[in-house]
Chain A
Amino acid sequence: AQRVTQPEKLLSVFKGAPVELKCNYSYSGSPELFWYVQYSRQRLQLLLRHISRESIKGFTADLNKGETSFHLKKPFAQEEDSAMYYCALSGIGANSKLTFGKGITLSVRP
């Protein structure tokens, strides 16, 4: 069975502080890992995927297969980063179903 665990519900930091949003997964095989973000009153959108290895809006995430983790990091948080963040995984290949974690609210205070 595939499972995504986001152990924290809320992370509150001051502007300029480092951010790490934790994500652990369970999957028998090689999954694709994603981070989705939902800003206030906006739809769910893809932030980044492990395959692309990109840095989006200053966020990075490294897939650690040994620890089955895909933590999202940003060295200096901005107020506009305040949002709901979901970690998700799918099987390899086009259009496999996404399995989401419960999500974490990131609040960046001025």
Chain B
Amino acid sequence: DAGVTQSPTHLIKTRGQQVTLRCSPKSGHDTVSWYQQALGQGPQFIFQYYEEEERQRGNFPDRFSGHQFPNYSSELNVNALLLGDSALYLCASSKLAEGYNEQFFGPGTRLTVL
């Protein structure tokens, strides 16, 4: 098991563009959470998906949206990119039935907005 995988590894976009980041959860996991990590900061929760629906959402604007597919993989979409969206985007997966909150993180996608 490769664990949580994310693609692409790095991405460079310009202001106003749109971006899609992808995440495949660890085998057996059914829940995907997305975090944004700005330089020098801890990860900040964006939202979480379970059964193809958004369960929780952090303090991020509607420009940030997501999707979960029947195979539990997930996408994070960001519209109208701003310079401040430059960050490392982390995906984490977990299993709801486990009854406790251990999230496994992917390596992240480094997004640079010019």
Contact = CB atoms under 8 A, between A and B. Distances in A.
What are the 9 closest A-B residue pairs judged by CB atoms, nearest first? A100-B42, A44-B105, A97-B45, A43-B107, A95-B31, A100-B43, A102-B42, A90-B101, A94-B96
Interface string B37-74: 00011111100101000011010000000000000000
Contacts of B78: none
Interface of A: 4, 6, 32, 43-46, 49, 51, 86, 88, 90, 93-103
B25 interface: no
Interface of B: 3-4, 31, 33, 35, 40-45, 48, 50, 55-56, 58, 90, 92, 94-108
A39 to B, nearest CB: 12
Contact of A98 (B43, B97, B106, B107): B43
Interface on chain A toward B: helix, strand, loop, or mixed SS? loop
B48 A97 contact: yes
Contacts, number: 68
A32 B43 CA distance: 17
A64 B37 CA distance: 28
Contacts of A44: 43, 90, 105
B31 to A, nearest CB: 5
Nearest to B30: A95
B108 A95 contact: no
A102 B86 CA distance: 17
Nearest to A1: B59
23 contacts: A6-B42, A32-B101, A43-B3, A43-B105, A43-B106, A43-B107, A43-B108, A44-B90, A46-B103, A86-B42, A86-B43, A93-B101, A94-B101, A95-B55, A95-B94, A95-B96, A97-B33, A97-B56, A97-B58, A98-B45, A98-B92, A99-B45, A102-B42
